Each structure stands twice: as structure tokens, then as C-alpha cells.
């Protein structure tokens, strides 16, 4: 009955089981929004709150949400926490970085530092509808809870961000994968704290789970026999991007960072005509992480302010 009312209000829903449902976010669940996962059970739970404030308002008009679990601190996953809190929900966040996850000011400093603080603050809170909220409690790796019929275990899966988590449902063999999202873009690690090696290890941890259904924050649900193949293809982006950087560096004996970013190997953006300093920053962060990897492997050197292939 509740689902029918939500659908009648224009909310797109995919039911995974009798108690677990995907709430498809605005913009087809793509940034600056995400899909949310709704559990209707003895305890009603929403995983992530970035599907869109309009959707959350409709949801709260039809069902009492007892608890919200936040997978990580990006605003496209936390934007509606304040609205759900106003409706009486408890807000559970990762233990890691819990001091900053509910504050736009502190999130901006984590994401871009002082230099781009104002630009970030002028852009993302208004874009997503984020407002500061109050944390009820935190969870960490191995945290277990039940909603009545369903059981969940928190899996610490850093890399995308230091505070990124997935949730495992052992009885149903379902993974809530969040921003290990298996999207066509591939992994995103454009914040200073993002880490490629941690990201790869997290993907491996998820691959070790005997999942039959995989739920993504930014893509459609995936079922076996495709889960392992999609995870392997997703992990392969890291090595492919290494190769992209090396290919670009064959054009010149030494390339400045700004030259590499301007070529936009990952975003395929026209940085020359679209002056977006936040977009530039994210791509530069990702390129820099690959250059660090390539230098550690002895494939690239940094000399005279430029990067080049080691001869």
C-alpha cells in the first residue's frame, strides 16, 4: 500500500524483495543525486538521503523513517539528512571523519581546502539542498543490525573517500555497494583523501562476498551472473587510466600538470572553454594520484616542473 502511494506520487521504485526497495534518485540517480535504498520492516530504514529533497518530502508524507544510514560524506548522499531528522529519523554515519560529515564548512575544507572553499560552498550545498544536521550515532566495520526481517553488516570500503562503507546482507546475499557504483565512468577519486590502492582493495573485498544482487548508488541493480564481471571491469579502470596518462606523455618529453589536466583524459571535459575550477580540481586530483603511482613504479619522472616517461 505504501509503495503504491509513493509510485502514485511519481517516485520511481524497484523492489528487490518484500522489504527492500530502490528509490531511484533525480537525474536518473546520477550526481548531484543518488539512489536511496528503503527498508520497510519492523524498523523502517533509509540508506542515504541524496535522492532529491522533493522525493524525500513525498516519502516522509507516506511512511515514518526511523533511521537513516549514511554510506559516506559526499553531499549527493547526505543532502536530505536534515529533512529526515526534522521528521524524527535517527541519523547514523561512519565513525571515520564523523566530526565533519554533518557540516558544510568542514566538508568543504576536506574536499577542496581553503583555496576553493568559497567556490565549493557557493556550489554544492545549493545544488543538492544540503543543510547541516546533527549526528545521532556512528557505526564502524563489522557493525551489525536488524530491521526485523533483514540483517545488515557494515563493510569498511575506503578509497572513494576515507569514510566510504558498503552494507552486506548475508541471508539475502545482497550488497549495497553505494559509490563502488559500477557506473560507466568508472571509479571516482577526485578528493585529496581519495586513494587508488584503498579503492582497489575495497573492490576486492566486495568481490569476495557471495552476492546474488548488487545495488549501486548511481546505476541499476545488478544480478548474477554479471556481478563479478562488472566488478572486474570496474577495477580495470585504474590500470587503463595509467595507460592513458603514459600515452599522453609520449607527446612531449616533459608535460606540466596543467597541460595534462587540460587534455582531460578522464572527464573528457573542455576545460579551455568551460572554466570550472571545481571540475578542474577533481580531474587534477585523479591525474596526480596516477602520476604518483607511475613514479613509484619507476615509469615516470618529475623533473624541472614537468612530468615525463623515464627513459
Query: Which pLDDT tens digit goes with each residue over 160-172?
Result: 999 999 999 999 9
- Lowest-confidence pick of 23-27, 69-73, 103-107, 306-310: 306-310
Residue 78 pLDDT: 98
Count of Cβ atoms closer than 10 Å to residue 203 Cβ: 22
Residues 6+ apart with CB under 8 A from 263: 248
- Lowest-confidence pick of 27-36, 43-52, 272-281: 272-281
pLDDT exceeds cutoff 80 at 51: yes
Q: Which residue, 154, 160, 150, is CA-closest to 189?
A: 160
Backbone angles phi, psi at 83, to 5 degrees: -70, -40
Counting residues of the chain whose pLDDT is more than 90, the rounded percentage is 94
Counting residues of the chain whose pLDDT is more than 70, the rounded percentage is 100
pLDDT exceeds cutoff 80 at 145: yes
CA angle 143, 19, 130 (to 5 degrees): 65
Q: How far apart are CA 265 and CA 52, in angstroms?
A: 30
Q: Which residue, 284, 73, 47, 266, is CA-closest to 160?
A: 73
Give the model's confidence band at 272: pLDDT under 50 very low, under 70 low, under 90 confident, else very high.
Answer: confident
Which strand (E) or helix (H) includes residue 169? strand 165-169
Q: How far apart are CA 192 and CA 140, in angstroms?
A: 22
Give the model's confidence band at 98: pLDDT under 50 very low, under 70 low, under 90 confident, else very high.
Answer: very high
Query: Which pLDDT tens digit goes with each residue over 204-239?
Result: 999 999 999 999 999 999 999 999 999 999 999 999
Backbone angles phi, psi at 238, to 5 degrees: -60, -50
The secondary structure of residue 255, as a DSSP letter, is B
Query: Which contacts (CB < 8 Å, 24+ apart) does range 251-254 have?
Result: 252/306, 252/308, 253/306, 253/308, 254/303, 254/304, 254/305, 254/306, 254/307, 254/308
More confident residue, 90 or 254: 90
What topology is assigned to 2-224 in CATH?
Answer: Metallo-beta-lactamase; Chain A (3.60.15)
Grid cell, residue 37, equals: 535504498
User: Looking at domain 241-309, which of 1.10.132, 1.10.3430, 1.10.10, 2.20.28 is its CATH number?
Assistant: 1.10.10
CB 231 within 8 A of CB 250: no
pTM of the model: 0.96
Query: Which pLDDT tens digit goes with each residue over 53-88?
Result: 999 999 999 999 999 999 999 999 999 999 999 999
Residue 195 pLDDT: 98
Residue 215 pLDDT: 98
Give the model's confidence band at 271: pLDDT under 50 very low, under 70 low, under 90 confident, else very high.
Answer: confident
Radius of gyration for the alpha carbons in the chain, expressed in angstroms and rounded: 20
Query: Which pLDDT tens digit goes with each residue over 172-184?
Result: 999 999 999 999 9
Please state the domain extents for the chain.
2-224, 241-309
Residue 119 pLDDT: 97
Count of Cβ atoms closer than 10 Å to residue 262 Cβ: 15
Strand order in the sheet with 36-39: 13-15, 20-23, 36-39, 45-47, 67-69, 90-94, 137-139
Amino acid at each position: 500500500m505504501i509503495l503504491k502511494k509513493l509510485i502514485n506520487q511519481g517516485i520511481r521504485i524497484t523492489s528487490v524483495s518484500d522489504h527492500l526497495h530502490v528509490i531511484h534518485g533525480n537525474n536518473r540517480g546520477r550526481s548531484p543525486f543518488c539512489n536511496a535504498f528503503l527498508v520497510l520492516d519492523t524498523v523502517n530504514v533509509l540508506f542515504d538521503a541524496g535522492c532529491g529533497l522533493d522525493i524525500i518530502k513525498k516519502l516522509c508524507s507516506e511512511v515514518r523513517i526511523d533511521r537513516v544510514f549514511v554510506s559516506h560524506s559526499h553531499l549527493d548522499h547526505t543532502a536530505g539528512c536534515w529533512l529526515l531528522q526534522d521528521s524524527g529519523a535517527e541519523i547514523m554515519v561512519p565513525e571515520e571523519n564523523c566530526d565533519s560529515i554533518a557540516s558544510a564548512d568542514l566538508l568543504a575544507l576536506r574536499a577542496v581546502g581553503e583555496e576553493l572553499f568559497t567556490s565549493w560552498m557557493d556550489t554544492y550545498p545549493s545544488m543538492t539542498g544540503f543543510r547541516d544536521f546533527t549526528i545521532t550515532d556512528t557505526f564502524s566495520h563489522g557493525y551489525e543490525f536488524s530491521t526485523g526481517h533483514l540483517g545488515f553488516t557494515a563493510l569498511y570500503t575506503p578509497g572513494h573517500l576515507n569514510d566510504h562503507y558498503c552494507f552486506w546482507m548475508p541471508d539475502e546475499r545482497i550488497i549495497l555497494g553505494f559509490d563502488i557504483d559500477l557506473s560507466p565512468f568508472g571509479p571516482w577519486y577526485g578528493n585529496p583523501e581519495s586513494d587508488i590502492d584503498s579503492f582497489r582493495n575495497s573492490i576486492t573485498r566486495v568481490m569476495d562476498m557471495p552476492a546474488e544482487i548488487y545495488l549501486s548508488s548511481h546505476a541499476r541493480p545488478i544480478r548474477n551472473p554479471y556481478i563479478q564481471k562488472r566488478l572486474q571491469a570496474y577495477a580495470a579502470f585504474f590500470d587503463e587510466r595509467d595507460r592513458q596518462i603514459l600515452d599522453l606523455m609520449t607527446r612531449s618529453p616533459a608535460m606540466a600538470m596543467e597541460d595534462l589536466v587540460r587534455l582531460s583524459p578522464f572527464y573528457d571535459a573542455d576545460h579551455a572553454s568551460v572554466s570550472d575550477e571545481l571540475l578542474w580540481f577533481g580531474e587534477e586530483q585523479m591525474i596526480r594520484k596516477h602520476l604518483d603511482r607511475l613514479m613509484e613504479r619507476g615509469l615516470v619522472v618529475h623533473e624541472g616542473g614537468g612530468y615525463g616517461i623515464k627513459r
